[in-house]
Amino acid sequence: MRKAIYPGSFDPITFGHQDIIARSSSIFDELIVGVLNNSAKNSLFSVDERVSMLRELTKDIPNVTVDSFDGLLVDYMKESGATIIVRGLRAVTDFEYELQIAQTNHVENPAVETVFLTTNLKYSYLSSSVVREFAAYGGDISKFVPAPFVDRIYQKYNINR
Ligand code: PNS
């Protein structure tokens, strides 16, 4: 039984995240989408809102569950029984940071492996921060995030489109 976790901030969810979830859920037996509950970070959506949006997005994928965690990822993995971390790599600029985290997590717990999926070319430019920036200025974010969440993001910025 291969249980993986796709951890992240998901603030907000993008098509890039959706793509990684769909592809990794077909590789592993079970996939947990783990939303980091980082109180120090000024987030657009609360953790509960993000968990609920991710549940809505993944409701038809039977081997995907959504949860939040705080503290160290390796500790949450022990609790949840996941041994594989999934991360998306968009460009070489992601690599240094991702390599360091993957190696640190592996040193902390040698049973933990990180698997990288290369992001779909269609979404290689995309990030949650780009979505937030566009939304804040009333730009069109419909190409960046799944349709059910577009208006919810604008609402956070009091934008009517
Ligand atoms: O979507 P993000 O913000 O790039 O995701 C980063 C995340 C959540 C994967 C990373 O910050 C994380 O795992 N945080 C939990 C705390 C932890 O375990 N830190 C150790 C990394 S060296």
DSSP per-residue letters across 1-54: --EEEEEE--TT--HHHHHHHHHHHHHSSEEEEEEE--TTS--SS-HHHHHHHH
**Integer Cα distance of 131 and 102 in angstroms:** 26
**Integer Cα distance of 151 and 161 in angstroms:** 8
CA 50 from chain centre, in angstroms, equals 10
Q: What is the pLDDT of residue 39?
A: 76
Q: What is the pLDDT of residue 145?
A: 98
Residue 71 CA: nearest ligand 1 atom is: 16
Tell me if 155 CB under 6 Å of ligand 1.
no
How confident is the model over 22-71, as pLDDT tens digits?
999 999 999 999 999 987 778 999 999 999 999 999 999 999 999 999 99
Question: Which of 5, 6, 9, when mutated, tests ligand 1's pocket best, judged by the most ligand atoms within 8 Å of its CB?
Answer: 9
Burial degree of 159 (CB within 10 A; 0-12, 13-18, 19+): middle
